[in-house]
């Protein structure tokens, strides 16, 4: 078989990178649960009409069908892989609302699929870690101030091992829509979509598009760009918006909510969050607060954590389940961490101890030592072959295993054990039922590369 060609857009980490990924995910799970979020998992496949009903995503959806599917078989049509976890979660809530307690706080860590043009930070298969709070009929606003703090708590715990700090940018769609409406725009979604492209195409081209596509006057386009340039780390954002003129009840409501989010973050985690009025989010289901988060010093990567308030995504007739959620783009974040060699794992295997084998006839003794160590939570493996001890030590060294255990017996047949730290060469007597490796060596750790 010839060497296969790599498939772009479907990342496969090396063993050490996978250890880093798992520990980042463990940190996220731990923090989410500390804040009271329960784990859920939804199916990978959704009806296509459900996936396409919110946002401009139709060109990126992967359709699912059997290779030999009958075109007339309805069971083989209309299915697609989910491109995010919010739309499937909304469907889940509607289907199972009678069995859920509200407000429902859930986290979900799964793969998603999106037909992107592969590049760093954009993949066709990727892992997301979502947290959402959904209410029945109504949802208190304070959850929109809680979610940024949960994410910051989760990611700030990784700063001490070398991951970059994050900065969250927040806006409120009511602010944007109210201001644009006060300017006289009718196609508010169209203005939002163009503003969302500011970082990609720049102010000049956004201005041109506002005029050419939406019929804006030069004065309207200039006002939109002035509005989108506003940033602030405190409640002064409201004063700066009002200084531009324009009046609308939706604008006033949105400014009040935006100030609450900014001030709550400023008190709990100063410097973590900034009001940034160019933030719009491309998906149409957001109705209030919207979040985007960048890695400090790596802003060119784009947002690694985003989300917002959605009031109408989960609704059926008179039953409405408003929610707010944030998604951590785990694969996007780690792609930069690995490409820039910011961190790695202290070793590429979980194994802390390799038990040497003196001869195949005595392998049972080595197996017994390994069993004793594993019973006490020490990851252990037995040497694959009974070669010279020097070769067994080199085998452990190549794999990054820090300790080699030598079992034997004295002249009276009593067991004698020694363990060697192959990094320092120190070798000492040891008891398999009592010996412990240093805490830093018990499991692989994330360390600066």
pLDDT value at residue 75? 62
Q: Does residue 233 fall inside a structural domain? A: yes
> Which has the minimum average pLDDT: 75-89, 164-178, 255-269, 333-347?
75-89
The domain spanning residue 361 has which CATH number?
Answer: 3.40.50.800
Of all residues in the chain, the percent with pLDDT exceeding 90 is 78
∠ CA 82-86-90 to the nearest 5 degrees? 105
Co-location of 141 and 187 in the same domain: yes
- Write down the pTM of the prediction: 0.90
Co-location of 371 and 300 in the same domain: no
What's the mean pLDDT in 125-139? 96
What's the mean pLDDT in 65-72? 76
- Give the CA diameter of the chain: 98
What one-character DSSP code corresponds to residue 432? T
- 103 upstream amide cis, omega within 30 of 0: yes
Structure tokens at 300: 């060119």
* Residue after which a domain boundary falls, among 344, 367, 388: 344
Q: Does residue 133 fall inside a structural domain? A: yes
Co-location of 269 and 380 in the same domain: no
Asked if the model's pLDDT at residue 352 lies above 90, the reply is: yes
53 or 81: which carries more pLDDT confidence?
A: 81
* Residue after which a domain boundary falls, among 318, 344, 370: 344
Co-location of 122 and 144 in the same domain: yes
Asked if the model's pLDDT at residue 263 lies above 70, the reply is: yes
Give the total number of structural domains in the chain: 2
Co-location of 307 and 419 in the same domain: no
In tens, the pLDDT along 301-312 reads 999 999 999 998
Co-location of 372 and 254 in the same domain: no
Q: Does residue 8 fall inside a structural domain? A: no
The SS3 of residue 67 is coil
CB 371 within 8 A of CB 389: no
Co-location of 170 and 38 in the same domain: yes
Q: Does residue 51 fall inside a structural domain? A: yes
For 34-139, list the strands marked E by DSSP. 38-39, 45-47, 63-64, 79-81, 104-113, 125-134
In tens, the pLDDT along 7-20 reads 999 999 999 999 99
CB 259 within 8 A of CB 140: no
Co-location of 327 and 379 in the same domain: no
């Amino acid at each position: 078989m010839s060497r296969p060609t790599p498939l772009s857009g479907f990342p496969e980490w090396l063993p050490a990178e996978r250890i880093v990924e798992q520990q980042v995910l463990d940190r996220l799970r731990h923090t989410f649960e500390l804040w009271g979020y329960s784990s859920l998992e939804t199916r990978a496949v959704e009806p296509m009409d459900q996936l396409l009903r919110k946002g401009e995503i139709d060109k990126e959806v992967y359709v699912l069908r059997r290779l030999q599917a009958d075109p007339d078989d309805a069971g083989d049509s209309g299915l697609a892989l989910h491109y995010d976890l919010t739309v499937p979660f909304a469907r889940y809530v509607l289907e199972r609302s009678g069995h859920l307690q509200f407000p429902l706080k859930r986290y979900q860590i799964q793969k998603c699929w999106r037909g992107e043009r592969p590049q760093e930070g954009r993949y066709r298969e990727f892992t997301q870690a979502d947290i959402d709070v959904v209410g029945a009929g109504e949802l208190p606003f304070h959850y929109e101030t809680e979610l940024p703090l949960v994410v910051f708590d989760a990611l700030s715990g990784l700063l001490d091992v070398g991951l970059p700090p994050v900065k969250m940018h927040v806006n409120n769609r009511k602010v944007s829509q109210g201001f644009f409406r006060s300017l006289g725009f009718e196609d508010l979604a169209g203005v939002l979509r163009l503003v969302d492209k500011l970082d990609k195409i720049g102010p000049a081209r956004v201005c041109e598009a506002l005029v050419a596509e939406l019929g804006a006057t030069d004065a309207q386009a200039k006002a939109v760009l002035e509005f989108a340039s506003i940033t602030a780390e405190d409640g002064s954002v409201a004063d700066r918006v009002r200084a531009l003129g324009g009046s609308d009840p939706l604008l006033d409501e949105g400014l009040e909510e935006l100030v609450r989010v900014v001030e709550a973050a400023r008190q709990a985690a100063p410097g973590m969050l900034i009001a940034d009025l160019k933030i719009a989010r491309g998906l149409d289901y957001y109705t209030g607060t919207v979040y985007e988060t960048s890695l400090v010093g790596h802003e060119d990567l784009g947002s690694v954590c985003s989300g917002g308030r959605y009031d109408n995504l989960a609704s059926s007739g008179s039953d409405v389940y408003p929610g707010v959620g944030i998604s951590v783009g785990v694969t996007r974040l780690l792609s930069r961490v690995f490409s820039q060699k910011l961190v790695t794992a202290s070793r590429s295997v979980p194994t802390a101890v390799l038990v040497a084998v003196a001869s195949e006839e005595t392998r049972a003794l080595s197996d017994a030592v390994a069993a004793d160590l594993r019973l006490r939570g020490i990851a252990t493996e037995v040497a694959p072959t009974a070669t010279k001890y020097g070769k067994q030590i080199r085998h452990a060294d190549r794999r990054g295993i820090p300790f080699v255990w030598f079992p034997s017996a004295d002249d009276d047949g009593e067991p004698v054990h020694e363990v060697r730290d192959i990094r320092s060469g120190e070798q000492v007597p040891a008891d398999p039922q009592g010996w412990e490796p240093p805490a830093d060596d018990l499991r692989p750790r994330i360390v600066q590369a």
